[in-house]
Amino acid sequence: MNGPLVMAVIFVMTMLIGVPIPFAAGIATVAGLLIADIPLTLMAQAAWTAFEPFPLVTIPLFILAGQLMEQGGMSEKLVNIAQKLVGSYKGGMGW
């Protein structure tokens, strides 16, 4: 059996037993790397270089910051401050 066929079979089998898609793809990828005798450190290096450009890193960090502010109540306080500062002016808060 060749590598891509084994990867496809492993992917389908993991999907059939109820594994979520990203984890099934990861398991199939690791199995393919092991079958092809490629070191697993290569996968870690490839993942790091994919996230190395700074703009790609900032997007998930901004989402994380927004979630943290929402859960902690900081976003509501920021909106209240902005409402008090510019809310009385025409077009101040845009609502």
In three-state form (DSSP H/G/I as H, E/B as E, the rest C), the secondary structure along 5-72 is HHHHHHHHHHHHCCCCHHHHHHHHHHHHHHHCCCCCHHHHHHHHHHHCCHHHHHHHHHHHHHHHHHHH
pLDDT digits (tens, 9 = 90+) for 3-21: 889 899 999 999 999 999 9
Residue 53 reports pLDDT greater than 80: no
pLDDT of the residue at 95: 66
Which residue shows structure tokens 């025409």? 90
For residue 1, pLDDT beyond 70: no
Predicted TM-score of the model (pTM): 0.49
- The band of 22, judged by pLDDT with boundaries at 50, 70 and 90, is very high
Rounded mean pLDDT, 67-82: 91
